[in-house]
Amino acid sequence: MHIEQIYTNCLAQGAYFIESNGEAAVIDPLRETEPYIKRAEAKGVKIKYIFETHFHADFVSGHLDLAKKTGAQIIYGPEAKTDFEKYDAKDGEEFKIGDLTLRVLHTPGHTIECSTFLLFDENGKEHALFTGDTLFIGDVGRPDLSQKGSDLTQEVLAGWLFDSLRNKIMPLPDDIIVYPAHGAGSACGKNMSSETWSTLGHQKKTNYALRADMTKDEFIKEVTDGLLPPPQYFSKNAKMNKAGYKSIDKVMNAGNKALSIEEFLSVIEQEDVLLLDVRSREDFVKAYIPGSIFIGLDGSFAPWVGALVEDLNQKIVFVAPEGREEETVRRLARVGYDNTIGFLGGGFNTWRESDHDIDMIPTIKTKEFEEKYKAQGGLPVIDVRKPSEHETKHVQEAILYPLDYINMATNVFLDPAVPYHVHCRSGYRSTVAISILKQRGYGNLVNVQDTFDSIADSTLPIEGSCPSLIS
């Protein structure tokens, strides 16, 4: 028996490769197929099944392409309605993978069709539980992503989740290994651990949602309390996973194309094209092509693209560090952005050498920020962190403008003439936010490119709650 967790940090996502006696199964694959096919070839095994725990909302799964390339059968649990051919497993149905057995447990709550998969070893002993988004390490899946009519509220789904956990999962042996679909950093839950696996017994002791003395009403309240709106791309990715999508090979071939400076100039002059700069924030703030949006590859790139670029069909052309162009196209495709049309060949150096205009973002560290604040008796400050972050500590009278919801703000009163100082926790989100605001006409912005810890430890006035620009 061989079980491998294939973890992708950018999406905080775990896919699984299970192999036994010449056969293999893949659970919740990412869109690119190579990682799974190469593993099967290296071990000399055939991928027999592709199991999906549910319709993923935070990424486009690779089930269709992987099935076409390997002949594997796609398996969903009950209540999974799709536009493509698959096998609809019944609750409790079992599948053989070599000498192993995988049993389907229908566990609705996160979504209607959610299922978990219980793996039995060669001796018939319960060994592992692949929980998808039903049970995370330290948390459970959010119950507000599935709607099947006006009566199916998040409270109803949370009640189903309570029953699924108590009736299907908690009665299992404590030594079972729990393998979830996500870890810390995913928006599919509220309080996930950075650990990517655990035992069921440990989760019963430490996971708030598995408390033995918790009533259903208490569970519903705790699971739904404080839920922020899901990223806008979630429903769109879920729809793609139900209906189907372009072949990843076609997407890669179309997007991984170097453009000459003349071709690039012709493309970015079109109104319906988004110019994306994915270099490091340190490089971007020093020099970038006017009109670019910054979302750096070295951050949570794909989730930020999904949160901020509202149209999955958006035409995208990009500037990347040399050698990371293919990676950029692949990571865009992971969250459904299939309309990448190329990149500037030679990267930003090509633009610099072409003698076209270059923009930059004024950037200061905490010390200079502190000195300016004192000298002027205060500064207009924009905090682009999450509401939960600013509630703990923030600069006095700072305006809350969370990057996550920058496109949802309906009462923005920024004065283009005012030199706002923008900060986040590390400098990444503030750089993204300033690039977006500058594209929208707010050019008088200064980036505090330092950690918030350094701001909090300075002599700047720090307080509790602050006014918000999000209504």
For residues 98 and 188, state if they share a domain: yes
Can you tell me the mean pLDDT for 389-407? 92
Can you tell me the mean pLDDT for 47-65? 97
DSSP track, 355-390? T---B---EE-HHHHHHHHHHTT---EEE-S-HHHH
For residues 86 and 171, state if they share a domain: yes
Can you tell me the mean pLDDT for 380-405? 93
Look at the chain and report how many structural domains it folds into: 3
pLDDT tens digits for 360-369?
A: 999 999 999 9
- pLDDT at residue 15, as a whole number: 98
* Rounded-to-integer distance, Cα 350 and Cα 334, Å: 28
Q: Which domain-ending residue is among 209, 235, 261?
A: 235
Residue 102 covered by a domain = yes
Can you tell me the mean pLDDT for 435-457? 93
Is 190's pLDDT higher than 90? no
For residues 387 and 459, state if they share a domain: yes
- pLDDT at residue 412, as a whole number: 63
Residue 340 covered by a domain = yes
Q: Which residue has the tokens 């309309």?
A: 339
Residue 123 covered by a domain = yes
For residues 342 and 286, state if they share a domain: yes
Provide, rounded to the nearest whole percent, the portion of the chain with pLDDT above 90.
88
467 or 205, which is more confident?
205
Question: For the purposes of burial, counting CB atoms within 10 Å of the CB of 283, is it exposed (0-12), middle (13-18) or buried (19 or more)?
Answer: middle
Residue 452 covered by a domain = yes
For residues 84 and 26, state if they share a domain: yes
Can you tell me the mean pLDDT for 207-222? 96
- pLDDT at residue 299, as a whole number: 80
- Which residue, among 173, 162, 178, 63, has the nearest Cα to 116 in the 3D structure? 178
pLDDT tens digits for 138-189?
A: 999 999 987 555 578 999 999 999 999 999 999 999 999 999 999 988 888 8
Q: What mean pLDDT value characterizes the chain?
A: 94
For residues 298 and 416, state if they share a domain: no
For residues 297 and 437, state if they share a domain: no
* Rounded-to-integer distance, Cα 320 and Cα 264, Å: 13
Can you tell me the mean pLDDT for 409-418? 75
Residue 151: DSSP 8-state: T
Question: For the purposes of burial, counting CB atoms within 10 Å of the CB of 128, is it exposed (0-12), middle (13-18) or buried (19 or more)?
Answer: buried
Residue 422 covered by a domain = yes
For residues 420 and 316, state if they share a domain: no
Q: Which amino acid is at 269?
A: E
- The domain that holds 273 is classified in CATH as 3.40.250.10
For residues 387 and 457, state if they share a domain: yes
Sign of torsion, CA 229 232 234 236? positive
Question: For the purposes of burial, counting CB atoms within 10 Å of the CB of 213, is it exposed (0-12), middle (13-18) or buried (19 or more)?
Answer: exposed
Rg (CA), the chain: 24
pLDDT tens digits for 107-151?
A: 999 999 999 999 999 999 999 999 999 999 999 999 998 755 557
* Rounded-to-integer distance, Cα 10 and Cα 5, Å: 15
Can you tell me the mean pLDDT for 465-470? 55
- pLDDT at residue 410, as a whole number: 52
Is 205's pLDDT higher than 60? yes
Residue 80 covered by a domain = yes
pLDDT tens digits for 248-295?
A: 999 999 999 999 999 999 999 998 999 999 999 999 999 999 999 999
For residues 28 and 143, state if they share a domain: yes
Q: Which domain-ending residue is among 353, 386, 415?
A: 353
Residue 215 covered by a domain = yes
Residue 97 covered by a domain = yes
For residues 202 and 281, state if they share a domain: no
Q: Which domain-ending residue is among 353, 382, 403?
A: 353
Task: Report the run of H or E that residue 106 belongs to, with start and end.
Answer: strand 100-106
Q: Angle, nearest 10°, between helix axes 325-334 and 248-255?
A: 140
Distance of CA 458 to the CA centre of its chain: 33
Provide, rounded to the nearest whole percent, the portion of the chain with pLDDT above 70.
97
- The domain that holds 106 is classified in CATH as 3.60.15.10
- pLDDT at residue 79, as a whole number: 95
Q: What's the domain range around 456?
A: 363-463
- pLDDT at residue 471, as a whole number: 45
Residue 407, Cβ neighbours under 10 Å: how many? 12
For residues 224 and 268, state if they share a domain: no
- pLDDT at residue 187, as a whole number: 87
